[in-house]
Structure 1
């Protein structure tokens, strides 16, 4: 079954375009989807052979993802209730995906969350982040608790190899235009 059919069956939107692109570059591996919600990205990656753990603090979304995983036979997909603000990932991963999630965190916790993501990424592993920005040129039109400034994400990943990095304008699923920091970075071995 195609992912389009799978997502249509459960009323989900398509996997994030950056996740789709990352799956073309990164071989299936042990993966964490932070802020997975009902699992569109986790399911996309699981369908491509990734061993995925999806975490979100929304217990209803996690239960929905668990049910889908069982119904569709995704044995390598685990869904856990976890508040990302805790910055205390218990396991190590080869790929950590965090798309449009950081901006909903408590701002004072974001630095610790990024440090924890880096610490829990195995050598040679990857972090994929997409986060809204608020800059003088492109003020964020949405009231997110947290946004990145120019160069802030790149600075937080100093010493990593940037496979992709940009701070381009983009469109949210609701049609809002804003600037995003988008990064796929590889941890040194």
Structure 2
């Protein structure tokens, strides 16, 4: 059973304009969406995970409004379409995006564009790779620039960040996953996403994959190798941000996952491992997953490296 999910007049703030002055301040935008999707599974199960969660769609569009800086509405519309097809089981999108206060002399209610797009062929049959809720909730706090995705796996975070315009480097020890991610980045025309196969747990005193002061942000989700933390801190630029989430020991006790308790953080351990950074937010406990149904016990940290000290001024 194919049906439509209709979202009427989502209003959000975005930076979109030909001139730098127009992009300097967010302006009101509006979006209407018609999303074609298969509703048969949800009709039978009554589970949110079996359909398109429109609350997540709204959340993602608003996140794009926070992070995108586009000269043209066409660019923002393409970013929205890419995210919708990549992260949700949608077969067709009809989109109406418009400025509610366009910078023109004439009085007009709005100026915008309409697009009708079917799911790209290279995504047919693929499963959406939804970023973690923690990253989605904090994307507006991730500095624009170069981001390292550590233990990237299939690339759900790397692809998401690259689609938002970040320069992303993704590393993982799984050569097959890295190869598939490189192929996907090429198919999706994402030259700002580069990948590398790296054994993150090898015994070594040299870590060329973590150059000092290189990254504006580092993302690590559901991976833990304690010897890496000093390298992660060193690889951040001054004012760079670390976004880290993984399982705590409570998840092992409740769900016996991961398979070994050593792969879980002790209580407050993440704070100790990152004590050199300034904590922007920290939460440890039971958290919803991006399926919106299950919960897991994790520690979630957003922390910033200190800025370089200002040079001493000579007395006048």
Q: Is the pair's TM-score, using the shorter chain for normalization, greater than 0.5? A: yes
Give matches, 1:40-55, under 5 Å. Answer: 40-55=156-171
1: CA distance between counterparts of 2:210 and 2:272? 25
Quote how far apart the aligned CAs of 1:22 are.
2.7
Counting only pairs closer than 5 Å after superposition, residues 2-81 of structure 1 correspond to structure 2 as 2-7=82-87, 8=89, 9=123, 10-81=126-197
State the SS of the aligned residue for 1:62. Answer: helix
1:122 aligned onto 2:244 = no
4+ residue runs over 6 A deviation = 173-176
CA distance in 2, matches of 1:56, 1:5: 25
Q: How far apart are the structure 2 equivalents of 1:23 and 1:114? A: 22
Change (3 A) 1:172 1:18: closer
- Which residue of the partner structure matches residue 15 of structure 2? none
CA distance in 2, matches of 1:79, 1:182: 25
In the TM superposition, what is the alpha-carbon distance from 1:58 to its structure 2 partner?
0.9
* Cα distance change on mapping 1:124 and 1:75 into 2, 3 Å: same
Q: Alignment length, in residue pairs?
A: 182
Is the Cα contact below 8 Å between 2:143 and 2:240 reproduced in 1? no
| 1:105 aligned residue | none
Answering whether residue 303 of structure 2 is matched by residue 185 of structure 1, we say yes
DSSP 3-state at the match of 2:249: coil
Q: For structure 2, which runs of at least 5 residues remain unmatched after alignment?
A: 1-80, 90-122, 308-316
Rounded Cα–Cα distance in structure 1 between residues aligned with 2:244 and 2:227? 15
CA separation of 1:183/1:50 partners in 2, compared to 1, >3 Å: closer, same or farther? Answer: same
Are 2:253 and 1:150 aligned? no
Instruction: Supply the distance in 1 between the matched residues of 2:185 and 2:137 (Cα, whole angstroms).
Output: 23
Over aligned residue pairs, what C-alpha RMSD do you find? 2.4
Secondary structure of 2:154's aligned partner: coil
Larger Rg: 2
Do the aligned residues in 1 keep the contact of 2:219 with 2:244 (CA within 8 Å)? Answer: yes
Counterpart-to-counterpart distance in 2, 1:55 and 1:4: 25
TM-score, normalised by the number of residues in structure 1 = 0.85
Deviations 1:49-107 (A, max 9, x none): 110011111111111111111111101100111122247234321111000111xxxxx
Aligned to 2:47: none
Partner of 2:24: none
In structure 1, stretches of 5+ residues that fail to align are 103-109
Which secondary structure state, in structure 2, belongs to the residue aligned with residue 68 of structure 1? Answer: helix
Deviation at 1:20, TM superposition (A): 1.6
Structure with the bigger RCO (C-alpha within 8 Å, sep 6+) is: 1
